Amino acid sequence: MSEKRVVVVGAAGRMGRALVRCLRERAVPGLTLAGAVDLWDVPERGQDAGLVAGAGACGVAIESDLAEVAGGADVVIDFSGPHGTAGNAPRCAEWGVALVTGTTGLSPEESAAVEAAADKIPIVKAPNMSLGITLLLDLVEQCAARLAARGYDIEIVERHHRRKKDAPSGTALALGEAVARGAGLDLDAVAAHGRHGVVKEDRPADQVGFHAVRAGDFVGDHTVLFAAEGESLELSHRATSRDTFAIGALRAAAWVCGRVPGLYTMRDVLGLNQGKE
């Protein structure tokens, strides 16, 4: 089978570098780096993407216009930012190029732009590309289904590095959605983001608390806490390397090429939806 040609958007960023390095190391076989894109004003523009990633020269320079490098690509992997991803999804749809994106912090309008593009191309969109978090989402839904009605309080605590832009993390929100599905709640109605000041009432029983820590170089820690009088249960995931997300995104890229148009998740990529339809 021929190699799939991959374009990485956000190539000078933390995830972009991890993606380029994992591609160069052939962490997932069958994929070749065909193009690399970042903003026009980053110092890495024009430099060899492999060298920027610390993986040795690969002959692919970081360009500033996706249109320049997307010709002939099979799949674009976009870990840029909400504005970049929302702008690139319709362009990929126009060109008929599959898309994998892990960008978080999209507004409802930006998410809608990605979803609309999925009418024309296959897109894998996931706030967390790791196997561990994909499984954790199921576990959290199961625990919430069993514990929320029995009076357990549910709180989500996440820790990320000091440069992370969005809070709470996309993964924390996905965990909150899993809680809401399991407990039969409307997340928007019950979410409480941080706490401050003095309240008169006790904590509402069906509240779902979110707490975002930003410090140092944490790659991504998430804990869902279920607590009642007499016991507590914590389900935690800790990412110690961005490679875990990069390899997940590369698996998604290998999987998504040639699929029918639609919006897919890591559950689809990892085969966890089989037998559920």
**Which residues here bind ligand NAD, judged by CB under 6 A?**
9-10, 12-16, 37-39, 42, 79-81, 83-84, 102-105, 126-129, 245
Closest distance of CB 72 from ligand NAD, Å: 19
Closest distance of CB 246 from ligand NAD, Å: 8
Answer whether the bond into residue 168 is a cis peptide, omega within 30°: yes
Comparison of 127 and 209: residue with beta carbon closer to ligand NAD? 127
6 close to 28: Cβ distance less than 8 angstroms: no
164 among known catalytic residues: yes
- The two three-digit tokens of residue 172, written as one number: 């924390």
Closest distance of CB 98 from ligand NAD, Å: 16
Task: Name the closest residue to ligand NAD (Cβ).
Answer: 13
User: Among residues 4, 120, 161, 164, which one is catalytic?
Assistant: 164
User: Among residues 4, 83, 125, 160, which one is catalytic?
Assistant: 160
Comparison of 65 and 186: residue with beta carbon closer to ligand NAD? 65
237 among known catalytic residues: no
From CA 54, how far away is CA 64, in angstroms rounded?
20
Q: End-to-end alpha-carbon separation of the chain, Å?
A: 29
Closest distance of CB 2 from ligand NAD, Å: 27
Closest distance of CB 16 from ligand NAD, Å: 6
Closest CA to 208 of 234, 189, 229: 189
Comparison of 14 and 267: residue with beta carbon closer to ligand NAD? 14
Q: Which of the residues are catalytic?
A: 160, 164
